[in-house]
Chain A
Amino acid sequence: MSDTVLSVRNISKSFGGIHAVNDVSFDVGKGEVLGLIGPNGSGKSTLFNCVLGQLPADAGEVQIHGQRVGQMRASRLNKLGVGRTFQQLSVFPQMSVLDNIILAGQEHHGSMASRLFGPSDAGLTAEADRMIQFFKLEHLRDEMAGSLSYGQQKLVDAAMAFMAGPSLVLLDEPAGGVNLTMLANLKDRLETYNREHGTTFVVIEHNMEFVMTLCTRIIVLAEGAIIAEGTPDEIRSNQQVIDAYLGG
């Protein structure tokens, strides 16, 4: 596949005696929305962290746009066009929503010197406002991120992952703890972004309705290994998945 954006080969990771991720391989093509599901503790977040250099994998190899990323630091990966969110909510609580969003883009503009001597917004206010508008956060623009509701902070968190114009975005439970209205908004925004920019997504999510309608392909993890892979319809009718997870 020439348009493979992310290629994961034989990744394994143990914590002491726990095999959190066990020999996992998959590819994700350009514009695909891949869902990653599985029971709690099945290794989804650990897999993300290994792919993104946040944790060193014990074995295996990750390529992004054909480039081996090995032990590359998260900031370098981000500059290669990889955006992400964490399972734990992670906005900057004592900065305004606008500053959160600008921060997410500023390291991609100019040099260290221009970020000291140039304009204080790194020339990004207009672009940040467009992102804020895209995620329908206009009325919260100048509020401290920490004063927002949990769901609103989740939206800010997601918006930050897009600010650098990434070609690949990994979202760890973006819908967790988000109320229904905001969930519909979030899904709509992700779909729109994917359609308009051809961005590739990998999404970890527990909300089945959300995953089944958003994703084009789904991988099911159990105890650190892939037990099924297919379209949402195939996954829904897969007996092994129903036994291990959906039925459970």
Chain B
Amino acid sequence: MTTKMVRILFPLAALALLVLIPLGQGNYIIYVMTSWLMFSIAAMGLNLTLGYAGQISLAQASFMGIGAYITALLTLAGYHWVVGWVAAMGACFGIGLLLGYPALRVQHHFLAFVTLAFNTLVFLVLRNEEWLTGGNHGLVGMPRPSFFGISTGKNLEFYYFVLILFVISAAVFYWIVNSPWGRAFKALRENPVRAESLGVDTRRITLLAFAIGSAFGGGAGAIMSPLVQFIEPGSFALVHSLKILLMVVVGGAGLFYGPMLGAAVVILLPEFLRFTEGYYLMIYAALVIVLMVYSPTGLIGLGTKLWQQIRPQSEVRKDMSKGAQL
């Protein structure tokens, strides 16, 4: 099989599995899988900002929050979910653009602090502006949407609805990172000064990296409202931004499938480790540290490393045959 065939067949096979697996499963498993798809979309966005464009952000959960509250308020006011979805992504695009401005002046851990402060700010607004957000009590009873008479009310129906949104998001994401914009994002990550000297408007590209990544966060939030049907500020606190960051880093930042795998691990591993009771967080943290030390490119990087050790070695040293030219 050529690489090209794998590139086409793998997502198709994965999609077939995602369609088949939930059939006949109980509500809990379906809920966990829906939640995984939703977090994958949020992590995809952060992967664009952080993994591809190299701009650290600790605010992705706040964009989920903004998206979730906008969708909740609009659907509770009687608008269709699609209106909420578009408004959530649009608002997060705009706010993400604004959050990008500090990134033009500060980098790395300073930028981490700026985005961390932003996440806290959003949390406080959601908690304190009770007239709009319901404060600590949050918002309840958001309806699940219908499309042309087809309801998404039951859990399995809603799962397929989110699967469609996930596929759309992944396709858009794939398109962006493989476009010339994607190349400019990577250039920004690897050497901003060189990129600028080659005509890349690094300011604009930095802002776009934040705006697009945040819009994905808003899109994920728009799913959360009808999924959980109850939202409160605590669901979008800093710790959840760290969780999304972990998804990106554990799976493999800057790799297309990285955050999807990372989201699965971050959501499922605690379930598997539940038998260890109180120790699970410690075991979990230790596993993450070991992974980061051994493979900074996450699980996908680790897999690639292992594969290169066991695959046939004939192709590896191209320079042996071309030695004369090198």
Contact = CB atoms under 8 A, between A and B. Distances in A.
A221 interface: no
Interface stretch (A88-96, A208-216, A231-239): A88-96
Contact of B179 (A74, A79, A84, A116): A116
Contacts of A168: none
Interface in A119-148: 120-122, 139, 143
A90 B201 contact: no
Interface in A78-106: 78-79, 84, 86, 90-95, 99, 102-104, 106
A74 to B, nearest CB: 4
Contact of A160 (B198, B204, B325): B198
Contact of A120 (B178, B194, B198): B178
A120 to B, nearest CB: 5
B181 interface: yes
B187 A52 contact: no
B179 A120 contact: yes
A180 to B, nearest CB: 14
A65 to B, nearest CB: 17
B191 A92 contact: yes
B199 A108 contact: yes
B144 interface: no
Nearest to A122: B180
A54 interface: yes
A232 B194 CA distance: 31
Contacts of A92: 186-187, 190-191, 194-195
B197 interface: yes
Contacts of A103: 180, 183-184, 187, 195, 198, 200
B199 A78 contact: yes
B201 A107 contact: yes
A73 interface: yes
A149 B13 CA distance: 39
Contacts of A152: 326
A49 to B, nearest CB: 10
A115 B201 CA distance: 13
A75 interface: yes
A103 B325 CA distance: 25
Contact of A75 (B180, B200, B325): B200
Contacts of B199: 75, 78-79, 104, 107-108, 164
A84 B197 contact: yes
Given A78-B198, A139-B325, A106 B193 contact: no
Interface in A143-176: 143, 149, 152, 160, 163-164
Question: By CB atoms of chain A within 10 A, which of B176, B178, B180, B182 has the most?
Answer: B180
A116 B176 contact: yes
B157 interface: no
Contact of A107 (B190, B200, B325): B200
A152 B204 CA distance: 31
Given A74-B196, A120-B180, A164-B199, 4 more contacts: A78-B199, A84-B197, A107-B198, A108-B199
Interface of B: 176, 178-184, 186-187, 190-191, 193-202, 204, 254, 318, 322, 325-326
Cβ-closest 9 pairs across A and B: A107-B199, A115-B180, A78-B199, A90-B194, A92-B190, A74-B196, A106-B180, A122-B180, A74-B197
